[in-house]
Amino acid sequence: MLKQKALGEVLGQVNTSGVDGAWLFNKEGLCMAFVGTASKTVPPNVSSALLASVWTALERRANDLKETILVLEDGVIAFTVVARSMLLAVRANKKTEVGMVRAKLHTVAAYLEQPIMSLANDQG
Amino acid sequence: MSSKRKVLLMGKSGSGKTSMRSIIFANYIARDCSRLGPTIEVEHAHVKFLGNMVLHLWDCGGQESFMENFLVSQKDQIFKNVQVLIYVFDVESREFEKDLRYYQSCLEALLQNSPNAQVFCLIHKMDLIEEDKREETFKRREAEVLRYSELAATPLLNERQNAVCQCFKSSIWDETLYKAWSAIVYHLVPNVGTMEDKLKKFGAILDADEVILFERATFLVIAHAVLREHKDPHRFEKVSNIIKQFKLSCTKMGSKLDSIQVRNSQFSAFIDSFTQNTYVMIVVPDGNASAPMITMNVKNARKVFEAIETKP
């Protein structure tokens, strides 16, 4: 089982010093949770669907894709895979150093790895 | 415990036994019931309920000549090995006294032949009574029914544990029919206690207000866990009624109902197909609850509930 509230608390911890959003979604792009300031034009479920499709497109070209960093006009989005089935994404404004964003991303990913893995095993 | 249950459906002619049976188990809607003719002697129906449980419904025709027959020549055949007697009263009946006497005879016959059967009485056609008088009329009828139950039970004072019956008001036009039948079914399902326990735990994990388990075919409530009180006591039956209607219209389009989501700013409700025999409904007090997460948790819980169901 995945607890909405607990997951929200974990994801919320990255939202400091320039980082203002974190998603957890599966590879089909279905958003499990989003914590942060939601964009007015693109709701979190849409952005997670977009990110998932970016991920699958890249994965088709590169085997064993570990992480992706999108540097955009007004910010950075970094995302990585957790427990083979889920994707974790972190968004930051453009003043934030990419190294910081990566470090945060991987810390949360490592923290979530075990619990989500056991979740996938439950489903059998 | 045997998985086959004999359920007797009795009551005076035209009181609505076949109508309610058709609505609950045969996917009729209330409108269609005007087409039903009177039942001749006994109609048998086997209804699969919760997969491994078979309800063997004996729909007994209510005309007097049949009734006499049941009580005299076919007494053994009818009243042996009964698990449940459902007796239907017409609330508008002009001869309520007479109905009660028949009820008393049936109950006596039942007590002799199946002393462990459970008895439920439905005061039917409540929609014909004016709204503000319903409660009062029902109370009066219930008192009378209970009095006659006592009468039937007195000669068998030692083994009368089943003569204490429960009364329900019902009408095919609103949710009361589902309420009554849900209560009856609740007594028939084994493991209800375990299921409610698990539902409560499941609800706590999801931070839900309420988790409800519905039987798949009939959409009757089997078990529920309330984690936060709700002000409408009729909500389950209303949901049963609405979803069943919706399911029927899905069937007409040749598709199958899989899941429904409803949300507003204050809550989200999810109805999802659960185990082979059930649907589950989850109400979360958060309008932004993530649907994929709930779906995933439901999928994870499925195995546990399947195990409870198949337990003998």
* B312 residue type, one letter: P
CA distance B207 to chain A (A): 8
Same domain, B184 and B251: no
CA distance A1 to chain B (A): 5
Residue B1 pLDDT grade (very low, low, confident, very high; cuts 50, 70, 90):
very low
Are B126 and B134 in contact by the 8 Å Cβ rule? The answer is yes
**Average pLDDT value for chain B:** 81
CB atoms inside a 10 Å sphere around CB B75: 16
CA distance A6 to chain B (A): 10
Q: Which two three-digit tokens encode residue B22? A: 């058709």
Contacts of A3 in chain B (CB under 8 A): 205-207
Residue A80 is predicted with a pLDDT of 94
Q: Which of B161, B188, B215 is the last residue of a domain?
A: B188
Of A86-90, A108-112, B128-132, B302-306, the range with the lowest mean pLDDT is: B128-132
Same domain, B36 and B183: yes
Q: Which of B129, B158, B188 is the last residue of a domain?
A: B188
Same domain, B13 and B140: yes
Q: Are the beta carbons of B205 and A31 separated by less than 8 Å? A: no
pLDDT of residue B2 exceeding 70: no
Same domain, B174 and B231: no
Same domain, B56 and B179: yes
Instruction: Give a yes or no: residue A9 inside a domain.
Output: no
Residue B232 pLDDT grade (very low, low, confident, very high; cuts 50, 70, 90):
confident
The pLDDT tens digits for B244-275 are: 888 888 888 888 888 899 988 888 999 998 88
Are B275 and B199 in contact by the 8 Å Cβ rule? The answer is no
- Domain CATH code at residue B160: 3.40.50.300
In chain B, residues 204-263 whose CB comes closer than 8 Å to chain A: 205-207
Instruction: Give a yes or no: residue A5 inside a domain.
Output: no
pLDDT of residue B283 exceeding 80: yes
pLDDT of residue A73 exceeding 80: yes
The model carries a pTM of 0.78
Residue A123 is predicted with a pLDDT of 62
In chain B, residues 143-202 whose CB comes closer than 8 Å to chain A: 202
- Domain CATH code at residue B284: 3.30.450.190
The pLDDT tens digits for B84-105 are: 888 888 877 778 788 888 888 8
- Domain CATH code at residue A39: 3.30.450.30
Of A1, A7, A31, the CB nearest to B292: A31
Are A110 and A9 in contact by the 8 Å Cβ rule? The answer is no
Of residues A20, A50, A44, A17, the one with CA closest to residue A32: A44
Same domain, B138 and B200: no
Give the rounded percent of residues in chain B with a pLDDT score beyond 70. Answer: 94
Which residue of chain A is at minimal alpha-carbon distance from B289?
A4
- Determine contact: B297 vs chain A, CB below 8 A: yes
Q: Which two three-digit tokens encode residue A1? A: 């089982």
Residue B4, classed as helix, strand or coil, is: strand
Instruction: Give a yes or no: residue A75 inside a domain.
Output: yes
What distance in Å separates the CA atoms of residue B137 and residue B130, rounded to the nearest whole number?
Answer: 10
Q: Which two three-digit tokens encode residue A67? A: 């992480």
Same domain, B200 and B182: no
Residue B153 is predicted with a pLDDT of 67
In chain B, residues 263-292 whose CB comes closer than 8 Å to chain A: 286, 289-292
What distance in Å separates the CA atoms of residue B163 and residue B157, rounded to the nearest whole number?
Answer: 10
Q: What's the structural domain count of chain B?
A: 2
pLDDT of residue B163 exceeding 80: no
Same domain, B107 and B227: no
Q: Are the beta carbons of B301 and A3 separated by less than 8 Å? A: no
Residue B64, classed as helix, strand or coil, is: helix
Which residue of chain B is at minimal alpha-carbon distance from A27?
B292
Residue B160 pLDDT grade (very low, low, confident, very high; cuts 50, 70, 90):
low
pLDDT of residue B162 exceeding 70: no
pLDDT of residue B176 exceeding 50: yes
Q: Which domain holds residue A118?
A: 19-123
What distance in Å separates the CA atoms of residue A88 and residue A93, rounded to the nearest whole number?
Answer: 17
Q: Which domain holds residue B294?
A: 192-310
What distance in Å separates the CA atoms of residue B257 and residue B309, rounded to the nearest whole number?
Answer: 22
Q: Which of B145, B173, B188 is the last residue of a domain?
A: B188
Q: Is pLDDT larger for residue B138 or for residue B155?
A: B138
Same domain, B141 and B288: no
The pLDDT tens digits for B54-65 are: 888 888 887 777
Give the rounded percent of residues in chain B with a pLDDT score beyond 90. Answer: 4
Q: What's the structural domain count of chain A?
A: 1
Most confident of A107-111, B34-38, B291-295: A107-111
Cα B244 to Cα A44, B23, B128, B239, B275, distances in angstroms: 33, 10, 23, 8, 18
pLDDT of residue B83 exceeding 50: yes
The burial class, CB within 10 Å (0-12 / 13-18 / 19+), for B160 is middle
